[in-house]
Every structure is written in structure tokens, then in C-alpha cells.
Structure 1
Amino acid sequence: MDCQVRLATIDDAAAISHVVISALRESNAQDYSPDVIARVEQGFSAQGIIQLMMQRRVYVASVDQRVVATASLDGDVVRSVFVDPQYQGAGIGRQLMAVIHSAAHELGLDVLRVPSSITAEGFYASLGFRKVRDEFHGAERTIVMQRVLRQ
């Protein structure tokens, strides 16, 4: 599968929103209640995505010019890593994280942190991230993880 990773543009906002909401509803819904999923979805409308683009580096992965995944870098924090459920397990998330890792090196970061969902904890662990602590936002459990890039 030929996958291209690039910085997102405003024209990608609707497609990113679709990927995020699909992943939340199909993948994350296995680990979170419907009310948590609905609350998280609210921040990922196309307009919400445009707001995020103004605050952080947002990347997309596309297959045949179709956006199928997204991830972003906000300082030393990896955020909003989502892969369309139809493409999960194909290595696209790993490709996105490789680009994030490269950007972190270019920025001279020593550590990358990620607030992981329960759903993605194993994925991040497979990339060398280690659990630091749990955080709770109401019924939503987030696992704060980090990866040391250089000592």
C-alpha cells in the first residue's frame, strides 16, 4: 500500500474530521462509553480541526489522494493520532509516528509525550513509549506515556 505523509492544509479539515470521528466511533468505542465518545467528538468538527491546525503541526497520511490518518505535534506532545478503521493495522500509524519522531529530532526535543487512549496504549508501547501515569477526565481514562529521544 502506497501511503504519503505530509503536513495538513485547511482543505484537509473535513477529511481529517471524518477519519477522527470514524475511529472514535468504531475503535475507541470499544473502550469508552458513548457519552465519552460524543464529548470527544465535539472537538473534532472540521472547524475544530482548523483551530487545531493554528496551534500545532498537523500531519495527514493519504492513500490514493484520500486522507486515511492524522497525527499532530504540539511542542513535545503527540496528539490526535487516528487511523481510519479500514486502514488500521496496515502500518500507516507507524509511518505517521516516524514523521513525528523525525520532526521531534529536527526540533531538538529530548522527550516525546503522548496522552494515549486505552485503545492505543499497546500501539504506543510498541513504539517505545512507556506509561508515566493515568489521568482521569470524568469517566475518560487517559494514559500519559513518554519516549526518551536522547539522554
Structure 2
Amino acid sequence: MNAHDIFLRPAEEKDAWVLSAIRIAAIKALPATFYTRQELLAWRNYRTKPDGSNILKSMKSETFWVAVENDNIVGFTSYIIDELIALYVHPRYQGRGIGKALVEHFCHQATQQGVDKVITSASLYAEGFYLRLGFTAIQKVPHQLKNGVIVTVMKMSKQLT
């Protein structure tokens, strides 16, 4: 499978629990290299089982898009106009261009809104991924997770043409 075998669509409320499961799986698959196990656990809200309630709340203010392959959601992104808030691809589907397709879709949507520069706060794991997509690292900054735990992330931006 590659990015040509997937299609993107707006997320629906019924997708929230699947998105939560993807988020948990993606974070659980990370090694404790840039963040401690405790920070990774906090990042997934101490969950081992999906709970779409936080995603449902976020859907009220953020735009969510999902990547679908064979009727299965394999990744998603959320954003607000010029800021990419979240990007997660299930570990079984990583490295196949799905994250890139979701980020390119976000950038295209921003361009359609007249935006000429987008930003994101990338986990330290994702910094290289965003650099390969043309983002520029601005600086490491503290980022407060929804549960109050603070982790370091890389503030990044990309000039759109």
C-alpha cells in the first residue's frame, strides 16, 4: 500500500473512537528516546483503550481529515486555518506517504484560505519528517498537554507558494 491507495475525507463524529485508537497506538509505538515513558503515557492521556470524547470536543473547533484505505481509517490530521494541530498515522501504515498526503492536504486547504505560511508544534520524533516536507525549525518550546504535563516540542513553519 502507498499513498495512492488511500483517499482523504472529512472526519465524522462517528470516527472519534477510531481516531483515539490511532492516536494511542501511534504514541505507544514510540521509543522513550526524546520523551520519558511517563511523558509518553501523559501524551496519550494515560489511556490504553480508545475514548473519543476529547476528539469529539476538539471537532467543535478544529477541522479533522482522515486517510482511508479499504474502508479503514489509517491516519488523521486536525488543524485550524494555518496551524496543524495533530497528525497521527497508525504504526502499521507509517512510512507509506500517508502522513505526507495529510500534511499536503492541510497546506492546500490553507492556501485556498489565502494563507501564505503555516505553523505546527512538532514532537521531537516528527521534526525530521516535517523538515523533509519543507518546514523550517524555529525553536524548541515547552508545550502543555491537555492534562497539564509539559513536554518540549519544535515550533516549525512552512512558507506556502
TM-score after normalising by structure 2:
0.87
- Alignment correspondent of 2:25: 22
Aligned twin of 2:146? none
Which of 8, 12, 15 is 2:11 aligned to?
A: 8
Q: Which amino acid aligns with 1:76?
A: D
Question: Can you give the 5+ residue segments of structure 2 that lack an aligned partner in the other structure?
Answer: 144-148
Q: Distance in 2 between matches of 1:107 and 1:56?
A: 15
The answer to whether 1:42 aligns with 2:56 is no
Tell me the secondary structure at the aligned position of residue 96 of structure 2.
Answer: coil
CA contact (8 A) 1:111 1:148 kept: yes
| 1:38-73 deviation line (CA, Å, top 9, x unaligned) | 222129830000111111111110111111101111
- Structure 2 counterpart of 1:131: 137
Aligned alpha-carbon RMSD (Å): 1.7
Aligned pairs, how many? Answer: 150
Q: Distance in 1 between matches of 2:6 and 2:128?
A: 23
Range moving further from structure 2, 41-50 or 141-150 = 41-50
> Which residue of the partner structure matches residue 151 of structure 2?
140
- For 1:139 and 1:67, the matched residues in 2 are separated by 29
Q: Which moved more, 1:108-117 or 1:128-137?
A: 128-137
Whether the 8 Å CA contact 1:70–1:81 is kept in 2: the answer is: yes
How many Å separate the matches in 2 of 1:28 and 1:139? Answer: 18
1:33 is the counterpart of 2:33: no
Equivalent position amino acid for 1:143 in 2: M
Q: Report the identity percentage.
A: 28
- Paired with 2:30 and 2:133, the residues of 1 have a C-alpha distance of 19
Counterpart residue identity of residue 35, structure 2 = Y
Which residue pairs with 1:90 in the alignment?
96
Q: Deviations over 1:69-111 (max 9, x none)?
A: 0111113110110110001000001111111111001111111
- What is the identity, as a one-letter code, of the residue corresponding to 2:27? L
1:4 offset after TM fit, Å?
1.1
Q: Which runs of 5+ in 1 are unaligned?
A: none
For the residues of structure 2 that align with 1:29 and 1:10, how far apart are their CA atoms? 32
User: Which stretch of the first structure deviates more once superposed, 130-139 or 50-59?
Assistant: 130-139
Mapped to 1, the partners of 2:160 and 2:104 lie a distance apart of 12
1:110 aligns with 2:116: yes
Per the alignment, residue 100 of structure 1 pairs with: 106
Relative distance call for 1:72 and 1:55 in structure 2 (3 A) is same
Distance 1:45 1:38 in 2: 15
Range that drifts further, 136-145 or 7-16: 136-145
